[in-house]
Amino acid sequence: MAKLWFVPVAWAFASAASGAESCEALRAQIESKIAAAGVVQFTVTTVDAAAPADGQVVGSCEFGSKKIVYQRERGPEPDASPARPRPRGEPILTECKDGSVSVGGDCGK
């Protein structure tokens, strides 16, 4: 009976040892779900809970002592030139419900 105190202590050490592993597994799971949604350039990192997040917090692990942060990476910057306005006299193409294309926005009624 005196040796039964060892079992809860062993469980405590086992759960503490698996805490980092479960945090990494959770990060990988979140990363795969984001990639499956079609997002290409992103990072998923694990940081301390008190650290400022440079992205969206998407989870926590290790009993709330760490948080998992998602940050979408920016692609190349688009050309800085302003968008050119459409000329006023340019006709408007409209696709009608029957699949035909009309110039000027008038579909046969």
Mean pLDDT along residues 9-36: 72
97 or 72, which is more confident: 72
CB 34 within 8 A of CB 70: yes
The per-residue pLDDT for 80 is 60
The model's pTM is 0.51
pLDDT tens digits along 37-72: 998 899 999 999 999 988 999 999 998 899 999 999
Q: Which of 13-17, 63-67, 95-99 has the lowest mean pLDDT?
A: 13-17
The candidate with the shortest Cα–Cα distance to 39, out of 23, 21, 58, 52, is 58
Extents of the domains making up the chain: 11-72
